[in-house]
A and B are shown apart, each in its own frame.
Chain A
Amino acid sequence: MTSIRGKVHKFESSNIDTDVIVPGQYLKIHDPKELAKHAMEGIDPEFPKKVSAGDFMVCGNNFGCGSSREHAPIALSTVGIKAILAPSFARIFYRNAIDGGYLLPIEIEPETLSKIRDKDVLEINLSQNKIMNITNNESYKMVPFPDLVSQIVEAGGLIYYRDGKKR
């Protein structure tokens, strides 16, 4: 998985919290498919219909702040999101995404945010820590994962890392 390509769904705002990603009333639901129906419901109830498998989200600072609910990355990955690009993530969301092997939280430089537009197609190269914008031919840097984290990503989640196996 060194290189992945996907279409962008852009959410400009900062501090998109887990109450927006999966509202609290659905917390008692644990079926991924049911959760996916409510992904991003707090901002765009139509969102699940707009996503194709492998798409990316590009969002403002501190994405995923709020509660520790793993419902959030589960809903987003089940809907089809493969990576989220943001200048910063809330720490529990970041860990959940990586350790559960749900999707990739990619930290970008703050100036990159305004350069990527809705519906752009991006290619993320994890071995070179580079992002190519196929739509407008730009390229951006991504903040590299720390070594241990990158091994967990490589394995496809924390438990696979422990077993020395890949997902």
Chain B
Amino acid sequence: MTVTEKILARASGKDRVQPGEVGFVSVDKLMMHDVSGPGVIKVLNEWEKKGKKLDHIWDPEKVWIAEDHFVPNADKVSAENIMTLSRWSKRFGVTKHFKYGLGQYGICHTLSHEEALVLPGQVYVAGDSHTNTTGALGAFAAGLGHTDIAYVLMYGEIWLKVPETLLFKITGTKPNYVMAKDIILKIIGDIGTEGANYKTMQFSGDVVERMSMDERLTLTNMTTEAGAKNGIIEPDSVTESYLRERTTAPYSKILGDSDAKFSEIFHYEIDKLEPTVAKPFSPGNTTAARELQQVEVDRVYIGSCTGAKFEDLQAAAKILKGKKVKVRTEVLPAAQSIYLKVVNQGLANIFIEAGALVGPPTCGACCGAHMGVLGEGEICVSTTNRNFPGRMGDVKSKTYLASPLVAAASALRGKITDPRDILE
């Protein structure tokens, strides 16, 4: 069995499971945020009105709440949603509620690893499509909608179809200025935005083994954009030392069997991979950054669960150091803990001296919510993960998805730029 199959077998109390099997699995961790949470609470309230007894939830210890999409409150409705969430977590005794302006908070998929809220071998479901991100820790992590999350909150289990696994073996020497973002954009460009529908994307190979956790998380984050049910990387020494710095909680390191069956194996030899960009309006619409060097941009957005982890910001700072941006540039660290490091390690100075804005952790303009929403016709180079029409604002705005290195280089020239053309 693959690692995903072994986790699901464990969670369904079986010795073996096979791809295609449909059944219930028990859940170890659950998250909802300020967009999905109020929707989930509405479902629960309706069930209560129809006579369901709802004096407690399945397990308040296993549930955590993030405030991230419309915070700091973008308007009155967002404020009400945050109040609804707070009343709910108080009523049901959920103490892991990360409130903005009250210590650590940030984008949900960033907190899940920064705070080690999910551990290897666990089944983690959450009310957000990029829940796949957390699979980089060796967990089964998948997004669900409101009704499903409400159901798990009550019963601690959910039905799933055991997915087939696609294995991506990434080998070779990673060229300078190529990041995990370039690799995953290249893969999505090749297999398409439904290339992994209903399936697992598992990553292995010497390039992945050498990757830091921040970089691995970029790979799994964007498996959602290929339609995958989950993305996963088997836990190893990188995972262990990452977790050791963050938690003392025990976990079992579940690995796939050596004779695991994959429905397909893709080999990527990346010695010649170039910085890659996804053009509007699809994450699968990829090309080399250098092909686009004539494209003028209005904005650069360095943010989100995909592209504002500490190492992403370090990469951007490496480019911006001692230089000035030519177009509006926003840098929004993905969590308060990262923001603090950005300040302590002098990165904030680099960004501000370069002329960029440094703002609080939030999903912000990644989903067109607030904090830099794009207007009609505006063109943005962004470290986020989606560029559908209207994703970051007006339906006639355009987003080019890129690595933090490409985004920062583009900020300096005001045109889409391969970082090698600035640094070499």
**Is B390 a contact of A19 with CB atoms below 8 Å?**
yes
Given known pairs A15-B193, A28-B81, A62-B193, the reply for A70 and B146 (CB within 8 Å) is yes
Task: Give residues 119-175 of B contacting A (CB, 8 Å).
Answer: 127-129, 143-148, 150-151, 155, 159, 161
Binary interface encoding of chain B residues 45-63 relative to chain A, with 1 for a CB under 8 A from any of its CBs, else 0:
0010000100000000000
Q: How far is the CB of B375 from chain A (nearest CB, A)?
A: 13
**Is B145 a contact of A96 with CB atoms below 8 Å?**
yes
Given known pairs A68-B145, A91-B198, A95-B145, the reply for A25 and B368 (CB within 8 Å) is yes
Task: Give residues 172-230 of B contacting A (CB, 8 Å).
Answer: 193-194, 197-198, 227, 229
Complex Cα distance, B146 from A148, in Å, reads 20
| Closest chain A residue to B160, Cβ basis | A95
Q: How far is the CB of A35 from chain B (nearest CB, A)?
A: 10
**Is B129 a contact of A148 with CB atoms below 8 Å?**
no
Q: How far is the CB of B243 from chain A (nearest CB, A)?
A: 26
Complex Cα distance, B358 from A105, in Å, reads 43
**Is B367 a contact of A70 with CB atoms below 8 Å?**
no
**Is B390 a contact of A23 with CB atoms below 8 Å?**
yes
Binary interface encoding of chain A residues 44-69 relative to chain B, with 1 for a CB under 8 A from any of its CBs, else 0:
00000000000000000110011111
Q: How far is the CB of A7 from chain B (nearest CB, A)?
A: 27
Given known pairs A19-B389, A20-B389, A28-B78, the reply for A69 and B143 (CB within 8 Å) is no
Binary interface encoding of chain B residues 62-85 relative to chain A, with 1 for a CB under 8 A from any of its CBs, else 0:
000000011000110110010000
Return chain B residues, CB-CB under 8 Å to A25.
Answer: 368-369
Complex Cα distance, B155 from A23, in Å, reads 32
**Is A62 a contact of B77 with CB atoms below 8 Å?**
no
**Is B388 a contact of A17 with CB atoms below 8 Å?**
yes
**Is A159 a contact of B147 with CB atoms below 8 Å?**
yes
Return chain A residues, CB-CB under 8 Å to B42.
Answer: 30
Complex Cα distance, B24 from A147, in Å, reads 13
Q: Does B38 contact A (CB under 8 A)?
A: yes
| Closest chain A residue to B194, Cβ basis | A62
Return chain B residues, CB-CB under 8 Å to A68.
Answer: 36, 127-129, 143-145
Binary interface encoding of chain A residues 75-103 relative to chain B, with 1 for a CB under 8 A from any of its CBs, else 0:
00000000000001011100110011000
Q: How far is the CB of A111 from chain B (nearest CB, A)?
A: 17
Complex Cα distance, B36 from A139, in Å, reads 39
Given known pairs A19-B388, A42-B395, A162-B155, the reply for A27 and B35 (CB within 8 Å) is yes
Q: How far is the CB of B24 from chain A (nearest CB, A)?
A: 8
Complex Cα distance, B129 from A147, in Å, reads 26
Query: Chain B interface residue count: which class?
Result: 35 or more
Given known pairs A19-B391, A66-B388, A148-B22, the reply for A24 and B369 (CB within 8 Å) is yes
B227 touches which of A24, A91, A147 (Cβ 8 Å): A91
Complex Cα distance, B282 from A65, in Å, reads 11
**Is B146 a contact of A92 with CB atoms below 8 Å?**
no
Return chain A residues, CB-CB under 8 Å to B159.
Answer: 148-149, 152, 158
**Is A90 a contact of B161 with CB atoms below 8 Å?**
no
**Is A100 a contact of B146 with CB atoms below 8 Å?**
yes
**Is A62 a contact of B197 with CB atoms below 8 Å?**
yes
Binary interface encoding of chain A residues 110-145 relative to chain B, with 1 for a CB under 8 A from any of its CBs, else 0:
000000000000000000000000000000000000
Complex Cα distance, B43 from A73, in Å, reads 14
Return chain A residues, CB-CB under 8 Å to B333.
Answer: none
Q: Does A157 contact B (CB under 8 A)?
A: yes
Q: Does A71 contact B (CB under 8 A)?
A: yes
User: Which residues from chain B sit less than 8 Å from chain A, CB to CB?
Assistant: 22-23, 35-36, 38-39, 42-43, 47, 52, 69-70, 74-75, 77-78, 81, 127-129, 143-148, 150-151, 155, 159, 161, 193-194, 197-198, 227, 229, 282, 367-369, 386, 388-391, 395
Q: List 29 A-B contacts (CB under 8 A).
A: A15-B193, A15-B282, A23-B390, A23-B395, A27-B367, A28-B75, A28-B81, A30-B38, A42-B389, A42-B395, A65-B227, A67-B129, A68-B145, A69-B36, A70-B39, A70-B147, A71-B39, A88-B194, A90-B194, A91-B198, A95-B145, A96-B145, A96-B147, A99-B151, A100-B145, A100-B147, A158-B159, A159-B47, A159-B150
